[in-house]
Amino acid sequence: MVRVDGGEMFEFERYLPLLDPEKFSDVAFYEELEKIGYRQVLLGGTGASDLASLARDIKAATGLTVVLYPAGPDSVTDAADVVILPDVMNSNSHFARPFGSGSIATAMNIALKGIDYVPVAYFIMGNSTARWYFDAFLIRQPKLIYAYANYARMLGYPYLALDYEDPELDISEHVIRMLKGLGGLKLVVSDEFTPESAARAMELGTDVVITPSDVYEEASDPVGVAAEFYRKLMRR
């Protein structure tokens, strides 16, 4: 993949845990992830603050690539290796939607700091903290999701993300298959997966699986959970 500026587009691993830096601030945890075999880690999420110090500590202690999911322009730090530009395609907010004030300010901060970046067309599919934070309207009809996705593809987004983080909402096999048939986009699906359900999502055609931080926060053995996901999804 190539960016509009001619540079090579960063590519995500098949599985990434999204980790809240306030809940996972001990560098020893990231050292354990590296021992398991992880090469990338995703930090951030809605409302996450002060990512810079943790990103620097991780970079100093490990060889992990730090991917940043910023809550806004103030979250951007050059301590990260790459920053996601998550344009919330179904947001009513002037801050989060494509060409919204927050999106523009975040992009400007990334450009000023000279950090690598990945544009992502991001759809919030369920009732979650993200829906509240970004004032998202839900799109239930598959044909409308297809239309939005086709628009994102035509604009040149390399990744399209579906956020299914809602305990009452299952991922849609029909939607995943439909979007994979569109072509020209790598499909990311985020949900409170188990290793088995994440593997099923990949079988359907999902390119990248993401689990939210609470999958690890609620585990008695987060390192064990990370090892289980790695064995199921990353070993080929």
Q: What is the CATH number of the domain that holds 158?
A: 3.20.20.390
- Asked if the model's pLDDT at residue 15 lies above 80, the reply is yes
Residue 6 within a domain: no
Structure tokens at 190: 């985020």
* The predicted structure's pLDDT at residue 2: 44
pLDDT digits (tens, 9 = 90+) for 61-120: 999 999 999 888 888 999 999 999 989 999 999 888 889 999 999 999 999 999 999 999
Where in the sequence is the domain holding 84, given as residue range(s)? 15-233
Residue 25 within a domain: yes
Place 236 in a pLDDT band, splitting at 50, 70 and 90.
low
Token pair 């086709």 is found at: 150
Residue 185 within a domain: yes
Burial 208-229 (b: 16+ CB within 10 A, else e): bbbbbbebbeeeeebeebbbbb
The DSSP annotation for 126-142 comes to SSSHHHHHHTBPP---H
Domain count, the chain: 1
Closest CA to 43 of 31, 32, 34, 30: 30
Q: What is the mean pLDDT of the chain?
A: 91
Residue 9 within a domain: no
Q: Which letter does DSSP use for residue 212 in this model? A: -
**pTM score, two decimals?**
0.90
Residue 55 within a domain: yes
Residue 211 within a domain: yes
* The predicted structure's pLDDT at residue 183: 86
Residue 2 within a domain: no
Q: Which letter does DSSP use for residue 185 in this model? A: -
What one-letter code names the amino acid at 163? Answer: D
* The predicted structure's pLDDT at residue 74: 86
Specify which of 41-50, 74-83, 161-170, 223-232 reaches the highest per-range mean pLDDT. 223-232
Calpha distance 235→229 (Å, rounded): 10
CB proximity list for 211: less than 8 A, separation 6 or greater: 15, 17, 18, 190, 191, 192, 193, 198, 229
Indicate the burial class of 182 (C-beta count within 10 angstroms; 0-12, 13-18, 19 or more). middle
